Structure 1
Amino acid sequence: MADQANTSQKRFLYLAAGVSAMGGMLFGYDIGVISGAILFIKKDFSLSLGMEEIVVSAVLLGSLMGAAIGGFLADRFGRRKLLILTAMAFCLGAIAAAVAPNTAALIAARVMAGIAIGIASFVAPLYISEIAPVTIRGKLVSLNQVALTIGIVISYVIDYALAADQAWRWMFAWAVIPAAIFGIGLFFIPDSPRWLVARGHPDKARAVLQRLRSPEEVNGELARIEHNAAQQKGSWSELASPLLRMAMIVGVGLAIMQQITGINTVIYYAPTIFKFAGLSSSAVAILASVGVGVINVVFTLVAMQLIDRVGRRPLLLISLAGMTLSLAVLGAAFAMPQLSGFVGWIAVGSLMVYVGAFAVGLGPVFWLVLSEIYPLSIRGRAMSVGTLANWSANLIVAVSFLTLVHILGKAGTFWLFGAVSIGAWCFAFFLVPETKGKTLEQIEDHWRAGKRPRAL
């Protein structure tokens, strides 16, 4: 009977994590779909280079808005309720983009989708981290990143399937289906037990933990959550307190590094990069992007299996080293015109190595660490700040990529991202703590004791 109960609890835990990770899939779909759609949108709406960058980046503007408001809303109204509203926003954004009559309407629709992305990008991993047991927290939070990468691949496949008909409106419209599944599923999972304690509902938190944990684990975990919750104020001013300053530096620093190393130029502009490299047709360029997306999924699955065994730091450092080397090769491919007959294949290969390196470390580790390192009462607000920094860096990179290519050349742009990756490796080596095997309450106690990040 005890084994059956534990199996039931494990199934429910994975169900709750899987449903919330659907937010990650929609996040991935909506950032990936524009890469193929923009090839046809710019023809239909006669977009200039500057307006093309604005259309691509409109979703990022919305994401900034979502990240800015999401933390307060997640702490005030709960993670699950906010995700339900986010699912509705995903649906509305997809429909509005599909029927947009002009550029302005399309931009507005993409901003709406962006708001949903900005919220889901951190509230989904936040929710998962708060329901997960410490032994598999990394694996479960990484489900969100796996779902994100699957969403990107699905968007590429749909872009490819619809490219012959140039049906960019249907590319956006398909997002309605997973958004509806996401919204319905959220009604069948519980609120975060840690959020319930923070809002003064320990009895409800106990009931949730009884569905997620074995009976002998419930009392001890609830006591630890209540102990830490009693020490906290939960105000914005706490984010700037000296004891939490280093946690904020780590979170915001990782947030910026994840973007300025160039990953989303690959996601947004993958078909464009391959056309630069000589893959002539739009359909072939989109198909090459599907291969990149599959590599993203495979290596994120590898990271999911390793992250609770090897740890966060080793994966992060290996990841950044691989990204640096692959960006050096990619830049070299574009710098040597005598290789023009093979530059397409060199570009494809180096981009796949780059994406694989990102996926095995920096991709999932950033969102995992961000969901782990902050105290309960301000976790939503603190993750909101980190996510806002992430999307701000994302926006800057996206709107400047084509301009950088124009000024520095293709090789110089990728070498610039490689140089930044070296700086990111140094930041991770000296400042990012190892959170493997630590409860969220132990991590919180570490910061409140005024200890250095590497001492965790």
Structure 2
Amino acid sequence: MVHPAETAKGPSWHDLFEPGVKHALLVGVGIQILQQFSGINGVLYYTPQILEQAGVGVLLSNLGLSSSSASLLISGMTTLLMLPCIAVAMRLMDLAGRRSLLLNTLPVLIISLIVLVIGSVVKMGSFVQASISTVSVVLYFCFFVMGFGPIPNILCSEIFPTRVRGICIAICALTFWISDIIVTYTLPVLLKSVGLAGVFGMYAVVCAIAWLFVFLKVPETKGMPLEVITEFFAVGAQQASTTKDN
């Protein structure tokens, strides 16, 4: 007996240019790029510096900790707070839906980043500035892992036809890592050229673009069979082509 996989026709690069596949690949690649450029690595890598600059030592001064030690402690506590948020996200994805969760969590990211910009530019009282910056960083992390963190990878596993799913997911993964490298290695340069407030402002703009992208391009896939999802992209691409021709 011959295994079905041995007789099945493998995907070709030409298949990626089919209207439905091309539309789905645009969504997958686009959301991976926007996820990385929304600033998660920048905020994650520089959390201690951000909090130290905000003066969080004031919040834990009664413990006798230095400013740098207090920043590291709050950074670690923030990371621990992300764990229950991941559990909440696992539940909400099948209740509220992927698209709805993105549309409701992205505005919190935008607000958190804007508040961090204001905290970096406007001089406030040390306690007020430290409190606002700490709350903004915590909210950013928690709402990121509830929405924009896991959902792009989930969507990329759902929106492609079976015959090209492997190669399309590989392209999305490659896009993810290239974007990650770009963000990681350009961040120090950006910090020197535009400063912390400028970097956070750029991240806030990307999050706003991501919200618009999700609103216009990303369908709701909650509870939908994979065949229906891929058919949705094929029909959408066909309608767009018909409208363009007319």
| Range into which the TM-score falls when normalised by the shorter chain | 0.7 to 0.9
- Which of 234-243 and 347-356 deviates more? 234-243
1:432 corresponds to 2:209:
no
Of the three residues 123, 129, 132, the one matched with 1:337 is: 123
Query: Of the candidates 356, 362, 382, which is equivalent to residue 148 of structure 2?
Result: 362
CA 1:283/1:345 → structure 2, altered by over 3 Å: closer, same or farther? same
2:155 is aligned with 1:349: no
After superposition, residues 148-297 of structure 1 pair within 5 angstroms as: 199-200=5-6, 233-278=10-55, 279=57, 280-297=66-83
Query: By how many angstroms is 1:300 displaced?
Result: 1.7
Change (3 A) 1:339 1:391: farther
**What residue is the counterpart of 1:307 in the other structure?**
93
Is there any run of 5+ residues in structure 2 with no aligned partner, and where?
Answer: 58-65, 240-246
Deviation at 1:400, TM superposition (A): 1.8
Change in CA separation of 1:450 and 1:426 when aligned onto 2, cut-off 3 Å = closer
Quick one: which amino acid aligns to residue 268 of structure 1?
Y
1:418 is displaced (CA, Å) by 0.8
CA contact (8 A) 1:323 1:353 kept: yes
Secondary structure of the equivalent of 1:307?
helix
Matched, 1:415 2:192: no
- Contact preservation (8 Å) 2:19, 2:234: no
- The equivalent of 2:61 in structure 1 is none
Q: Distance in 2 between matches of 1:368 and 1:423?
A: 20
Q: What is the letter of the counterpart of residue 401 of structure 1? A: L
Map 1:400-411 to 2 at 5 A. 400-411=186-197
For the residue of structure 2 that corresponds to 1:308, the secondary structure is helix
Mapped to 2, the partners of 1:198 and 1:428 lie a distance apart of 38
Partner of 1:322: 108
TM-score (norm 2): 0.84
1:102-151 CA-to-partner distances (Å, cap 9, x unmatched) read xxxxxxxxxxxxxxxxxxxxxxxxxxxxxxxxxxxxxxxxxxxxxxxxxx
Cα distance in 2, alignment partners of residues 364 and 346 from structure 1: 26
Structure 1 residues 428 and 450: CA distance shift in structure 2, 3 A:
closer
Within 2, Cα distance between the matches of 1:402 and 1:386? 26
Q: CA deviation at 1:438?
A: 1.2
Q: Who is 2:242 aligned against?
A: none
Contact 2:37–2:183 (CA under 8 A) maintained in structure 1: yes
* Match among 233, 236, 239 for residue 447 of structure 1: 233
Worse-matched range after superposition: 333-342 or 434-443: 333-342
The corresponding residue for 2:158 is 372
CA distance in 2, matches of 1:295, 1:418: 22
Unaligned runs of at least 5 residues, structure 1? 1-196, 202-229
Q: Deviations over 1:257-299 (max 9, x none)?
A: 1011101112222223223323455443222112221232222
Letter in 2 for 1:443: I
2: CA distance, partners of 1:337 / 1:406: 20
Task: Report how far residue 198 of structure 1 moved.
Answer: 7.2
Alignment correspondent of 2:167 = 381
CA distance in 2, matches of 1:329, 1:452: 43
Partner secondary structure for residue 359 of structure 1:
helix
- Percent identity reads 36
Q: Note the C-alpha offset of 1:200.
A: 4.9
Q: Match of 2:149, SS? A: helix
Equivalent residue, structure 2, for 1:154: none
Q: How does 1:65-214 map to 2 (within 5 A)?
A: 199-200=5-6
Question: What amino acid is aligned across from residue 144 of structure 2 in structure 1?
Answer: F
Shift of 1:340: 3.6
The root-mean-square deviation of aligned C-alpha atoms, in Å, is 2.3
How far has the Cα of 1:250 moved from its partner? 0.4
What count of residue pairs does the alignment treat as equivalent? 228
Q: Which residue of 2 aligns with 1:204?
A: none
Distance 1:235 1:423 in 2: 32
For the Cα contact (< 8 Å) 1:264–1:398, is it kept in 2?
yes
C-alpha separation between the residues in 1 aligned to 2:229 and 2:166?
Answer: 16
Alignment partner of 1:372: what SS?
coil
1:394 to 156, 180, 183: 180
Contact 1:333 1:339 in 2 (8 A): no
Amino acid at match of 1:321: P
